[in-house]
């Protein structure tokens, strides 16, 4: 019995030793998997039908900044379309749209009753800033005081809390949209006493910047730190106050379109894009107030 048990134990040990010396180890390999193909999406810009052509615009000098931003932004959407801008004043923009010398007229005012054959599309709103020289201590005026300064009823700055000095009123030439907007809002049509009537917003700003007794008006989008924009009735000109209507001296920036002549495909594409929400940030970046 003991001999039999010993033989069984000896056999079991041999089997165990044989298994350990065999050195075989089984390695499990995970099955290969293939990642599903990812379908690339087409960029939104590539879905836009590409158009070629030239669009000529002419008119308001106050819209120069807005047009600069819009044309640059539009170039990224439609690189085959060239949009040109000429600043000849709002009156010229209306006339150009009427006689077909430009594709799109630009006017920083609304159309008048006798300006027929064209229609306006409002692209943005703009505040007309009342500007004085930075050395002028006057910081706020009412619309009535501004009108009195413009018409010569008030001739000395001391009458409105400023230094003793003769008021020098500077503005734009007849036909300017900025002038039309200023005079219609302040009720000073044909009554302003201009020391200088200049042909661009930039010239008005430069003249006010160089004369401590000067006062003028300029598109809010064009005002820089060489002049001081005063508050009107306690309200500063800004995008927010123009949009909510609390700033009283404001006007529309308009595209003027001929009613009897259909726009070219390129011009229509520019109008559609410039008046869409896609262009709103660019308009705001130019200092104007988007309406889309």
Tell me if 214 sits within 8 A of 140, measured CB to CB.
no
Q: How far apart are CA 255 and CA 173, in angstroms?
A: 21
Considering only CA atoms, which of 82, 290, 128 is closest in space to residue 220? 128
What percentage of the chain reaches a pLDDT higher than 70?
84
Q: How far apart are CA 292 and CA 277, in angstroms?
A: 5
Given this model, what pLDDT does residue 146 score? Answer: 98
Higher pLDDT, residue 23 or 192:
192
Given this model, what pLDDT does residue 249 score? Answer: 96
**What average pLDDT does the chain have?**
87
Given this model, what pLDDT does residue 17 score? Answer: 38
For the residues 185-207, what does the mean pLDDT come to? 95
Contacts of 264 (CB under 8 A, 6+ apart): 53, 55, 103
pLDDT tens track for 40-56: 444 444 567 999 999 99
For the residues 91-120, what does the mean pLDDT come to? 97
> What is the β-pairing status of strands 228-229 and 104-107?
unpaired
pLDDT band at 11 (very low <50, low <70, confident <90, very high): very low
Given this model, what pLDDT does residue 239 score? Answer: 86
pLDDT tens track for 114-173: 999 999 999 999 999 999 999 999 999 999 999 999 999 999 999 999 999 999 999 999
51-124+252-290 and 127-250 share one CATH topology? Answer: yes
Given this model, what pLDDT does residue 28 score? Answer: 38
**Residue 177, token pair as written in the block:** 């949209």
The answer to whether residue 77 scores a pLDDT higher than 80 is yes
- Domain made up of 51-124+252-290: CATH architecture: 3-Layer(aba) Sandwich (3.40)
Q: What pTM was computed for the model?
A: 0.71
Given this model, what pLDDT does residue 46 score? Answer: 53
The answer to whether residue 193 scores a pLDDT higher than 50 is yes
Domain boundaries defined on the chain: 51-124+252-290, 127-250
Of 45-54, 94-103, 216-225, highest mean pLDDT = 94-103
Lowest mean pLDDT among 27-36, 136-145, 166-175, 271-280: 27-36
Higher pLDDT, residue 15 or 173:
173
For the residues 248-262, what does the mean pLDDT come to? 96
The hierarchical CATH code for the domain 127-250 is 3.40.190.10
Q: How far apart are CA 119 and CA 285, in angstroms?
A: 26
């Amino acid at each position: 019995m003991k001999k039999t048990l010993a033989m069984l134990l000896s056999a079991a040990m041999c089997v165990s030793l044989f298994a350990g010396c065999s050195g075989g180890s089984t390695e499990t390999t995970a099955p290969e998997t293939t990642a599903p193909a990812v379908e690339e999406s087409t960029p939104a810009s590539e879905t836009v039908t590409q158009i070629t052509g030239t669009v000529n615009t002419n008119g308001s000098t106050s819209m120069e900044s807005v047009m600069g931003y819009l044309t640059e932004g539009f170039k990224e959407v439609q690189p085959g379309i060239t949009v040109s801008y000429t600043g000849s004043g709002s009156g010229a923009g209306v006339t150009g749209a009427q006689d077909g010398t430009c594709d799109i007229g630009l006017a920083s005012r609304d159309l008048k009753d006798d300006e027929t054959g064209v229609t306006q599309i409002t692209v943005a709103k703009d505040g007309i800033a009342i500007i004085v020289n930075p050395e002028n201590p006057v910081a706020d005026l009412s619309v009535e005081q501004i009108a009195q300064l413009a018409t010569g009823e008030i001739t000395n700055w001391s009458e409105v809390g400023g230094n003793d000095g003769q008021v020098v009123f500077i503005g734009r030439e007849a036909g300017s949209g900025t002038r039309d907007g200023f005079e219609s809002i302040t009720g000073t049509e044909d009554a302003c006493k201009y020391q200088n009537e200049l042909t661009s917003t930039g010239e008005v700003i430069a003249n006010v910047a160089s004369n401590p007794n000067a006062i003028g008006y300029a598109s809010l989008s064009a005002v820089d730190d060489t002049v001081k924009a005063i508050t009107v009735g306690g309200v500063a000109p800004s995008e927010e106050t123009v949009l909510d209507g609390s700033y009283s001296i404001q006007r529309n920036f308009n595209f003027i379109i001929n009613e009897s002549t259909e726009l070219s495909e390129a011009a229509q594409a520019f109008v559609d894009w410039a008046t869409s929400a896609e262009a709103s940030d660019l308009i705001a970046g130019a200092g104007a107030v988007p309406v889309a």
